[in-house]
Amino acid sequence: MNYENVNELMERSSILIDDIFAYTVAHEILEHDDIEPHSVEECQQRANWPKWKEAIQAELHSLAKRQVFGPVVLTPPSVKPVGHKWVFVRKRNEKNEVMRYKTRLVA
């Protein structure tokens, strides 16, 4: 394992994994990694919202072009509709630079 922030090369077999170690690793990840958003509301609060908005529009345009959605009808009480959620991913190159913002609407 190579921890770039501390410039140490650590051997997996020699590491004692305890709660303090696990907390330290998790804290480093949360503090230094820019985690992908989990909702549209979270995207709207970020500085790169225009790029996420453009990716959302591209996904909706793609779904409309392929005629994924049918007519809107009233659902009978006995039928449970399928839920949905947005998935957000930033595609990166080998230098870890963001090359593309990508979204998917999934059932």
Q: Token pair for residue 66?
A: 């392929």
pLDDT along the chain (107 residues), means of 10: 56 74 77 80 93 96 92 90 92 87 94
Sequence letter at residue 31? E
CA 5 to chain CA centroid, Å, is 24
The secondary element (H helix, E strand) that includes residue 62 is: helix 49-65
pTM of the model: 0.66
